[in-house]
Amino acid sequence: MVRSPRATLASAVKQPRSLGLGLLIVLVSAACSAGFLMTRVGQLAALDQQVRQLESFGAVIGDDTYEGLRRLVPYRPLISAAFILVGWPILWVAVARVLQALCDGLTGLPRRPDEGTARRRAQVLAIVVHASAILALRALVEAPINYARESLGGATSLSLVMPAFGESTFPARLLGALDIFVVWWVVLVAMGLSMLYETRTFTVARWLFGAYAGGAAAIALTQALRGGT
């Protein structure tokens, strides 16, 4: 997916197989996430992240609350690994269904269940899974960066490569909500769907980027408003 994404996606469309690669992706990602959270640095970073998240919603962290959060820290590796191993495949299937419905509607293909619809479902899922190999790469890159920063989250956000705004400003929060590897994933998914539906990559990409940017903007706006109160 890194060296020859177009050829890889073309192969995925021709022979839609997802199980083997999907298993490898979740195993690598889960191992990196859980491995970091098992270190002392990772545990302190996880605790700090939980405190900051609660405070961003206006919660006051007292001694009892802090102690409760601290007791949960040893379970974070297991929780993180379980979310990746179980949650990611569910998300892949859900995203593939939504993308198929969207692309079928845009191209005027029938949505009634038939052999063609079932094959497209498998092809879209294969595209989503193959593109997600980039997320396994992100896990490999993110773990040592998080360890060096002694922090959890934001290691691959656009805010790190475009640090031109104040930390509490809306542009800074927006860049912080946009992940470089997720943007890469969107490009790959758009490329694969354009092959499958024989349309321009830009036509598909603008819908995907619009949805991703809209979600990031909503998160950034919420954080900015709460930060100003």
**Cβ atoms of residues 81 and 34 within 8 Å:** yes
Considering the entire predicted model, what is its pTM? Answer: 0.84
- CA–CA dist 1, 11 (Å, integer): 11
Q: Are 179 and 67 in contact (CB under 8 A)?
A: no
Work out the average pLDDT over 84-91.
Answer: 96
> How far apart, in whole angstroms, are the C-alpha atoms of residue 187 and residue 196?
14
Q: What is the pLDDT of residue 160?
A: 67
- Does the pLDDT at position 114 exceed 90? no
Mean pLDDT of 176-187: 85
Contact assessment for residue 25 and residue 135, using Cβ atoms and an 8 Å cutoff: yes
Residue 106 or residue 129, greater confidence: 129
Q: Would you tell me the crossing angle of helices 115-131 and 133-149 to the nearest 10 degrees?
A: 30
Name the band, by pLDDT with cuts 50, 70 and 90, for residue 171. Answer: low
Give the structural domain span for 11.
5-227
Going by pLDDT thresholds of 50, 70 and 90, the confidence category of residue 37 is very high
**How far out from the chain centre does Cα 110 lie?**
30
Q: Which 8-state DSSP code applies to residue 73?
A: G
**pLDDT value for 165:** 56
Q: How far is 217 from 227, CA to CA, in rounded Å?
A: 15
The sign one gets for the Cα dihedral 129, 92, 160, 211 is positive
Kindly calculate the radius of gyration of the chain based on its CA atoms and give it in whole angstroms.
20
Q: Cα dihedral sign for 57, 59, 65, 67?
A: positive
Percent residues over pLDDT 90 in the chain? 44
pLDDT band at 215 (very low <50, low <70, confident <90, very high): confident
Binned at pLDDT 50, 70 and 90, residue 3 comes out as confident
Residue 203 clears pLDDT 80, i.e. is over it: no
Question: Which band of pLDDT confidence, cut at 50, 70 and 90, is reported for residue 80?
Answer: very high
Residue 128 main-chain phi, psi, to 5 deg? -60, -45
Task: Check residue 137 and give its pLDDT.
Answer: 95
Round to whole Å and give the CA distance between 120 and 196.
Answer: 8
How many domains is the chain built from? 1
* Inter-residue contact 141 to 156 (CB < 8 Å): yes
The amino acid occupying position 33 is S
